[in-house]
Chain A
Amino acid sequence: MSIIIENIHKSFGEAHVLKGIDFTFKHREMNMILGGSGGGKTVLLKTMVGLLPPDKGRVLYDGQDFWALDVRAQRALRTQIGMLFQGSALFDSMTVEENVAFPMQMLTNAHKGEIADRVSYCLERVNLPGKHKLFPSELSGGMKKRVGIARAIVLQPRYLFCDEPNSGLDPQTAKVIDELLVELTYEHEMTTIIISHDINSVLNIADHILFLYQGKKEWEGSRQQLRETDNIPLKTFLRTSGLIT
């Protein structure tokens, strides 16, 4: 149930964004990816969920290389993946409720009542009760994020990917979301991978941290180790984030 990436390379034209990354994203843990803006975090996530083929390297889900599977097996694996996009990527022709219900309607045989219950439950978990009938254009950025999370977890995925779940949220909601992600990870035994700029959530919930720097894995470790690190780029990154002095 862990995800292992091996030697992932990705370039766009001349720009060599990922230069050979190895990492193990552990099962039942909060895996966090840190790194500067434009450092390739989103690109790395997209190579893992099957949106951008890496130029080189493997993405192993339980030992199976995603990019070596045939289309059918890839689809089957994808139904176990939940993803929150950096820009939420809600379907703007659908209401909040329809967005969250969509994966269930498309991919399961659940009937209306079951779907409605599950949707209400998920929206409550992300602290958005009573917004069922609104359209994405009527939501704030942070509310969209939360609907995106609700949609990502509606099918109880085994692998949850979140691209900056906290950006644009007030500290209190950010904390609620962090706690939700932790609870879900342990309750449903998920492998959770989070990209975050929010240093508070890194210090509060990260079990296993990957720090990307100049297209490479500069550092990895736990949040305790993060506090005591003497890695210079990481310390600089943390210092400019106002975390340590």
Chain B
Amino acid sequence: MFLLLHHLGRYFLMLGSLFVAREKVRVYVDGTLRETYQLGVGSLMIVLITSVFIGAVTTVNTAYQLSSALFPPSLIGSIVSTTGIMEFAPTITSLVLAGKVGSNIASQLGTMRVTEQIDALEVMGINSTSYLILPKLLGALIAFPILIIVAAFLQHLGGLVAGEVAGIIPSSVFHQGVMNVYDPFQVQFMLIKSVVFGFLITSIACFQGFYVRGGAFEVGDASKKAVVRGCIAILVSDYVLAQTLL
């Protein structure tokens, strides 16, 4: 318990120290653009693969569960759309990205720590937390919503194509089902989630990596913890957000 409080305290101290920035604004603008690009473009492929397959699988599963004449076929499209926007696109995509982005950030910062690159920044009089972490956080806050919009779109596409190809539901009916339940609030909810998840994944990974002590072994450990804790944080906050906003 004490240890948990200790870590939480240090985590918030780290977040606080981000804003005693003193470097030139251009440094942060350039850094943020670079991180946004790397995160966004670097994650497109994995988002594409997961999203298309999840959309397809949801369609097939839903069709299997609703195989009764009582339900209109367009309901399949409605269910795939709602679950996709509200849960699968933001949450599953973020869980996947927690693995990819979290381990990447933690091992990068961890290596910089154990090879004294962070000390070198400090000796120069540079605020190492804001220089290294702030652009990553801002980059995530920009890239995550974009990636998750892409993910939601691709899930719809995957569902639509799977329905058509397997002869489960014609694409026009699927589309009709989607439009029947379209609600801008759901999209807002998805975007709120994506911002929260992006922030949690990145800040936790930065925290794990930045405070590593030791060598290669500890860097690996930090990278593992970044992924595990990032995933837990996503699942807990997912529940909290659903409870408070729905």
Q: Indicate whether A and B interact.
A: yes
The smallest beta-carbon distance between B107 and chain A, in angstroms, is 13
Interface residues of B toward A: which range?
10 to 19
**Which of these binds chain A: B95-103, B122-130, B138-146?**
B122-130
A76–B115 Cα gap in the complex (Å)?
25
Given the complex, which residues of B lie within 8 Å of A50, measured CB to CB?
A: 122-123
The smallest beta-carbon distance between A144 and chain B, in angstroms, is 11
A157–B96 Cα gap in the complex (Å)?
47
A75–B124 Cα gap in the complex (Å)?
8
Instruction: Assess whether A87 is interfacial by the CB under 8 Å rule.
Output: yes
- The chain B residue sitting closest to A51, CB to CB, is B119
Task: Find out whether the CB atom of A78 lies under 8 angstroms from the CB atom of B124.
Answer: yes
Task: Find out whether the CB atom of B124 lies under 8 angstroms from the CB atom of A89.
Answer: no
A78–B27 Cα gap in the complex (Å)?
19
A107–B27 Cα gap in the complex (Å)?
11
> Which of B27, B117, B123 has the most C-beta atoms of chain A within 10 angstroms of its own C-beta?
B123
Task: Find out whether the CB atom of A103 lies under 8 angstroms from the CB atom of B115.
Answer: no
Q: Which A residues from 41 to 98 make CB contacts under 8 A with B?
A: 46, 49-51, 71, 74-79, 81, 83, 85, 87, 89-92
| A123-147 to B contact mask, C-beta < 8 Å, 1/0 | 0000000000000000000000000
- The chain A residue sitting closest to B124, CB to CB, is A103
Task: Find out whether the CB atom of B117 lies under 8 angstroms from the CB atom of A91.
Answer: yes
Given the complex, which residues of B lie within 8 Å of A89, measured CB to CB?
A: 115-117, 119-120
Task: Find out whether the CB atom of A87 lies under 8 angstroms from the CB atom of B115.
Answer: yes
A50–B121 Cα gap in the complex (Å)?
12
Instruction: Assess whether A244 is interfacial by the CB under 8 Å rule.
Output: no
A89–B128 Cα gap in the complex (Å)?
14
Given the complex, which residues of A lie within 8 Å of B20, measured CB to CB?
A: 71
The smallest beta-carbon distance between B121 and chain A, in angstroms, is 8
Given the complex, which residues of A lie within 8 Å of B127, measured CB to CB?
A: 75
Given the complex, which residues of A lie within 8 Å of B116, measured CB to CB?
A: 85, 87, 89
Instruction: Assess whether B22 is interfacial by the CB under 8 Å rule.
Output: yes
| B1-34 to A contact mask, C-beta < 8 Å, 1/0 | 0000000000000000000101110010000000
Report which B residues bind A (CB closer than 8 A). 20, 22-24, 27, 111-112, 115-117, 119-120, 122-127, 131
Other 5 A-B pairs with CB < 8 A, given A83-B123, A85-B120, A87-B116: A51-B123, A78-B122, A106-B124, A106-B126, A107-B125
